[in-house]
Amino acid sequence: MSKNSLKVAKGTRDWVGRDLELRDHIFRTISQVLERHGAVQLDTPVFELREVLSEKYGEDSKLIYDLQDQGGESLSLRYDLTVPFARWLAMHTNVQNIKRYQIAKVYRRDQPAVARGRMREFYQCDFDVAGASYDAMVPDAEVIRIISEVFSAFGLGVTVKLNHRKVLDGLFAVAGVPSNKIRTISAAVDKLDKTPWAEVKEEMLAKGLAEAVADHIGGYAQKSGTLRGLLDELRKDTDLSSNTDVAAGLADLELLATYLEALNVADIVSFDLSLARGLDYYTGLIYEVVTKPDPKSKVQVGSIAAGGRYDNLVGMYGKRPVPCVGISFGVDRIFTILDAQREKAIFNTLSRPADVYIMAFGGKEFDGLLPQRMKVATQLWDAGIRGEYAPKVKPRQMAQFNASDGVPLAVILGDEEVKAGQVRVKRLHTGGESGDKDKGKLVSLDGLVEEVRSLLDEAALDMAKIGS
């Protein structure tokens, strides 16, 4: 391969600098919310035995990356973090109840669309509640509360589209879908958020469904609304609500509505009968999170989180069934959205290279004061403050100012200040500098850290005012 043809594989990316800082900010923000709700971390291998992953993802199984046989084991890269967690639960029978989260890369042989956040290697952050000690819909409601807290922390308005697999399966049965076609028809219905009904119907017919049955499904699948409102409408439909599965699903959703109102998050939910979630392992509540439409935004990334209840998955690996419900946050898609909003104050503090730039100025005989600049940097580092200085013995004045671009404060050294045990501290790039004649404020080295912290707080307040 020639040097000019070097590139990363399709659907992957390198992370560096300010992008890495923003990504890690996303990790920290989500982790803080999850830990506040009692979650503990889990890490699992990047690959699993192929049999662990097989027959868990429906039509999406074709997207699993299979690895070459090594040591007599057939292995595949993990497709998500849910199935490995279920495998872990099945292995650890002593675990009765757990709230777990994991942030890790997953892999899919998908057609990448980098601008929309669709990758082949990407991060997910999963939160799951597992165990039989929770009453119906209690952990499900907490997951939706967590969704609200996470995206509020990012300053993003979202809608949680939800449905129930029992409602969906019952709807299909009432419409006349053969039981062996329910999952494949679910996958077709799940495309309604991106594909017109006419195309979805055509796919159903191609899969052997009668046209009358497809039309029956279409009459329901295009309904959406508030949770309470659509519940009332479906209960009045005696053909539908008399189905055992539908009745059980509606009872769950009635409980959920009560709990979401108590948790003050009912207003972010939309009951959407087109939502099907094609993965085979879901058994109850299912949901996807989408950002609220913004006519000013050019970013289109689809759902930014999704999940649901999967009570039977753990039992596939052993004799012990473990009820589970969870959510997966699409870190790369969240990154794509926040990356377009870097002008906001919160992201300016993430992207700047340092809090303080340490400069030295003098005349022709000036030696650059490199050891003194190093000592000041050490003092700031010891206090937990990010400091930088020019890696030159005698840096030029303009080069130092250029290097300080984006840094809010400067600490300036000169021969006279050093002899007096002092430095000058000033705000940078504000259009109006602090201190006497634009030279900054003289402070002693002993008071440097306190002064820097005070000015950093002042700069943060000014940026918050600009951002608002």
Share of the chain above pLDDT 90, in %: 60
- Answer whether 0.75 is exceeded by the pTM: yes
Give residue-wise pLDDT tens across range 424-460. Answer: 999 986 654 443 346 789 999 999 999 999 998 887 7
CB 88 within 8 A of CB 41: no
Give residue-wise pLDDT tens across range 249-303. Answer: 999 999 999 999 999 999 999 999 989 876 678 999 999 999 987 666 667 778 8
For the chain, the residue count is 468
CB 325 within 8 A of CB 307: yes
- In whole angstroms, give the CA distance from residue 288 to residue 276: 10
258 φ/ψ angles, rounded to the nearest 5 degrees: -65, -45
- In whole angstroms, give the CA distance from residue 250 to residue 248: 6
The DSSP result for 159-177, as a single string, is EEEEEEHHHHHHHHHHHT-
Domains and CATH numbers, the chain: 7-341 (3.30.930.10), 356-463 (3.40.50.800)
Give residue-wise pLDDT tens across range 156-165. Answer: 999 999 999 9
Give residue-wise pLDDT tens across range 66-121. Answer: 998 878 899 999 999 999 999 999 999 999 899 999 999 999 998 887 766 678 99
